Structure 1
Amino acid sequence: MTATSADGRSQIDLVVNEVAQELRTLDDGVAWFSGLSLAGQREVLQQVGGYAMQAHITAADGRTGVARSGVKPTANPSVMICMDPPRYGFSRLPADEYVKAFRVLVCVFAVADTRRRQTYCKNACGHPWHNLPPTSEEAEQP
C-alpha cells in the first residue's frame, strides 16, 4: 500500500495533499479511499491522523473541517476531532465509519495545513507536499 513515487511521496501523501490543496475533489479522494481494502483504509486513516497531528490541528480546525466534510457533527469521527485536545485512533473505529473518518480527517487536515502554508511556510517552504504541481486538468485550463 505504501508504494512511493520517484520523488519519494507515497500514494497516500499525494492523494491527501491534493485534496487538501483542492487539486482533487473530496469526492475523488473518497472514491480512491473507498476502493482500498480495509487494511489499506486503516493504513490511510493512521497516516492522515499523523498528518493532522503534525499540522497542529486545533478544536476550531476540527469544527471548520467537520462543517466542510459533510459528516454530521454528532458522528464519532466528528466528535473525536473536535475535542480539545483532539482524539485520534480513527483506524480503531468500526469499518462502517471509515469513510466518515476519512472525510473528517482530510478536511480538518486541509484547514490546518492551509493555515500553516499561509503562515509558517509562506515564501520559505521546503516541504515537497506544499509545492504540488497542478493536476493535468488544471494545467490545460486557460
Structure 2
Amino acid sequence: MNKRDVLLNELAQGLRPISEGIEWFDGRGQEEQFQVLLFLRHHCVQARAITEDAPESIRRSGLRPTHTPAVLISRGRIDEQLGKIAGLAPLDERRKAFRLLIAVLAIADGRRRERFCSGGCSPLVAPTVRRLTAQHRTLKATSQSNVFQVADQSHQKSQWRAPVIRSAYAASV
C-alpha cells in the first residue's frame, strides 16, 4: 500500500478528519483526482457496497439529497452508479464525489470488518478471506459440475434402457 491508499483508508475509518482529505484531494491535479475517485469506486465495490448504503452515505458525507452524486447513488445498481459518480467532471462535483465515495467506503468496509473481523483484523485477514471465498466458489462449482455429470450419466442410462424396454414390450405383444 502506498501513502494514498493509507490516507484514503484512514479517512474511511474516521482516523483522519474529512477536511484533511478534501484539502489533500484539492491539491491533486484533475487526472490524479480522477484516478483517486476510480480507486475509491473500486474499493467500494470490493467492500460490497449495497444500494441500501446510499441514504446513510449521503447523510455522512454532508451532501444534500439534490446534489448530483447523491442523486446518482440513489438510483439504479450501485456499482454502475459509483462509476458514474467517479466520472463526474466539474471540480465542485468531484469534491462532492470524493466526500460521498469516502462515506460509502466507510459504511461498506465497516460492515465487512464487522462481519469478517469480529475477533480482530489485520491487513492479512482480507486476502485470506478472499482466498477462502475463492476456494469455496471452486468447490461449489466442482460439486455442481459433478451433479450435472451424474445427471447426464443417469440420463444416458435411461436412454439406453428405453429401447430394451420397448423391444421387450414389442416381443410380448
**TM-score scaled by structure 1?**
0.77
Which moves more between the two structures, 30-39 or 90-99? 90-99
Partner residue, 1:69: 61
How many residues align? The count is 122
1:4-19 to 2 correspondences below 5 Å: 9-19=1-11
**SS of structure 1 residue aligned to 2:116:** coil
* Aligned mates of 2:109, 2:11 — CA distance in 1: 11
More helix by share: 2
The runs of at least 4 consecutive aligned structure 1 residues that moved more than 3 Å come to none
The one-letter code of the counterpart of 1:61 is: D
The change in CA–CA distance for 1:129 and 1:26 in structure 2 (over 3 A counts) is farther
Which runs of no fewer than 5 residues in structure 2 stay unpaired?
127-173
Q: Secondary structure at the match of 1:119?
A: helix
Identity of aligned residues (%): 34
Q: Which has the larger radius of gyration?
A: 2
Code of the residue aligned with 2:38 in structure 1: it is: Q
CA distance in 1, matches of 2:26, 2:125: 23
Q: 1:77 to 1:46 in 2, by over 3 A?
A: same
Match of 1:6 in 2: none
- CA shift in 2, pair 1:48/1:80, >3 Å: same
Letter in 2 for 1:32: W
The structure 2 residue matched to 1:100, chosen from 82, 89, 96, is: 96
d(CA) in 2 for partners of 1:33, 1:15: 11
Q: Distance in 2 between matches of 1:128 and 1:13?
A: 16
Higher relative CO (Cα under 8 Å, sequence separation at least 6) belongs to: 1
TM-score by length of 2: 0.64
Residue 44 of structure 1 aligns with which residue?
Answer: 36
The one of 12, 20, 28 aligned to 2:12: 20
The answer to whether the 8 A contact 1:57-1:112 is kept is yes
Q: Which amino acid aligns with 2:87?
A: R
- Equivalent pair of 1:17/1:129 in contact (CA under 8 Å): no
Q: Supply the distance in 1 between the matched residues of 2:33 and 2:53 (Cα, whole angstroms).
A: 23
CA gap of 1:110–1:129, structure 2 versus 1, over 3 A, is: farther
Partner in structure 1 of residue 26 of structure 2: 34
What is the root-mean-square deviation of aligned Cα atoms in Å? 1.9
Q: CA deviation at 1:128?
A: 5.5
**AA partner of residue 66 (structure 2):** T
Unaligned runs of 5+ in 1: 1-8, 131-142
Deviation at 1:121, TM superposition (A): 2.6
- Secondary structure, counterpart of 2:70 in structure 1: helix
Matched residues in 2 for 1:92 and 1:22: separation? Answer: 25
Say if 1:46 and 1:89, in contact at 8 Å, map to a contact too. Answer: no
Given residue 40 of structure 1, which amino acid in structure 2 is its aligned partner?
E
Contact 1:55 1:116 in 2 (8 A): yes
